[in-house]
Amino acid sequence: MAKRSIIPGFRLTLGLSLFYLSILVFIPLAIIFIKSFELSAAEFWSTVTNPRVVASYRVSFITALCAALINTVFGLIVAWVLVRYSFPGKKLLDAVVDIPFALPTAVAGIALTALYAKNGWIGSLLEPLGIKAAYSPLGIIIALTFIGIPFVVRTVQPVIEDLEKDMEEAAVMLGAYRLRTFFQVILPTLYPALLTGFTLAFARGIGEYGSVVFISGNMPMVTEISPLLIMTKLEQYDYAGATAIAAVMLIVSFLLLLLINLLQWRMNRRMTANS
């Protein structure tokens, strides 16, 4: 397996790493599936297809999808602006993009709630328009958009930096307008990065808890997300029910993780092929 190398420590470092990952991550996660098998197939099925549970999947899925789409559009613009133009305050804008990574989610949750509640700075502006932001699905979308901002920006940014300007030059020489150059020459090369960023933001959005619980209002069937439902079941000591929902969510997460890795592997291959 390992190519003979004079550098020491392969067995030791790999062995310890695998041991650590096993006891901390693999075995605990496997428990979710083992515990799920304690339910009969019929019980499992009726738990995970209960109307309230299905409604929570729908809320989680749709809000995460909307937030990831918003982030794909605006993330592309932010990344583009950060790479291509210079303007006052650019360094600050670039630094601030990482705030959602570093800010505890509970802080984001209460701040966004205060901002978008009826008497909040933005909420009070939306109120006369008949738009209810906090305590509605829109509030969840806002929270998940906040959480997902860095994912698209930071995945697309390096790819824009590496764009060859020869291609754009060629397009201009062939008589293409700027807009057409963008949509037919530049955008297609950004698709893999955009898709990766979108999937990362989407995957994060589906599992997010801290920032959402404050702003969502947590109404069953309307603004109750799946992670919250797991929490509720736990508080009622319904461990089997909580585990069954967790198993469904885990499978979705694994599939998304697989997709992300596939995309990144393809992206790396393309980038190394280009250089």
Partner 1 sequence: MAGVVSYHRSSHTAVRERHINEAPAVRWLLIGIAVLFIGLMIILPLAVVIAESLKKGAGVYFDAISHPDAMAALKLTLLTALIVVPLNAVFGLLVAWAISKFKFRGKQLLMTLIDLPFAVSPVIAGLVFVLLFGAQGYFGPWLAEHDIKIIFAVPGIIIATLFITVPFVAREIIPLMQQQGITEEEAAVSLGARGFQVFWRVTLPNIKWGLLYGLILCNARAMGEFGAVSVVSGHIRGRTNTLPLHVEILYNEYQFSAAFAIASLLMLLAIVTLIVKAIVEWKEQNQLKRNSPSH
28-67: which residues touch partner 1 (CB under 8 A)? Answer: 28-29, 31-32, 35
User: According to the binding rule CB under 8 A, does residue 87 interact with partner 1?
Assistant: yes
Of the candidate spans 40-48, 50-58, 124-132, 252-260, the one that interacts with partner 1 by CB under 8 A turns out to be 252-260
Nearest approach, Cβ of residue 42 and partner 1 (Å): 22
Q: For partner 1, what does the binding mask look like between residues 113 and 152, x meaning CB under 8 A?
A: -xx----xxx----------------------xx--xxx-
User: Which one of the spans 46-54, 132-140, 162-170, 216-224 is the region binding partner 1 (CB under 8 A)?
Assistant: 162-170
- Which of the ranges 39-47, 51-59, 94-102, 131-139 carries the binding residues for partner 1, by CB under 8 A? 94-102
Interface residue with partner 1, options 55, 65, 69, 81 (CB under 8 A): 81
* Minimum distance of partner 1 from residue 120's CB (angstroms): 8
Task: Convert the chain into a string of H (helix), E (strand) and C (coil).
Answer: CCCCCCCCCHHHHHHHHHHHHHHHHHHHHHHHHHHHCCCCHHHHHHHHCCHHHHHHHHHHHHHHHHHHHHHHHHHHHHHHHHHHCCCCCHHHHHHHCCHHHHCCHHHHHHHHHHHHCCCCCCHHHHHHHCCCCCCCHHHHHHHHHHHHHHHHHHHHHHHHHCCCHHHHHHHHHCCCCHHHHHHHHHHHHHHHHHHHHHHHHHHHHHHCCHHHHHHHCCCCCCCCCHHHHHHHHHHCCCHHHHHHHHHHHHHHHHHHHHHHHHHHHHHHHHHHHHC
Beta carbon of residue 196, minimum distance to partner 1 (angstroms, whole number): 8
Q: State the number of binding residues for partner 1 (CB under 8 A).
A: 109
Q: Which of 48, 53, 206, 244 binds partner 1 (CB under 8 A)?
A: 206
Of the two residues 55 and 267, which places its CB atom closer to partner 1 in the complex?
Answer: 267
Nearer to partner 1, 45 or 84 (CB): 84
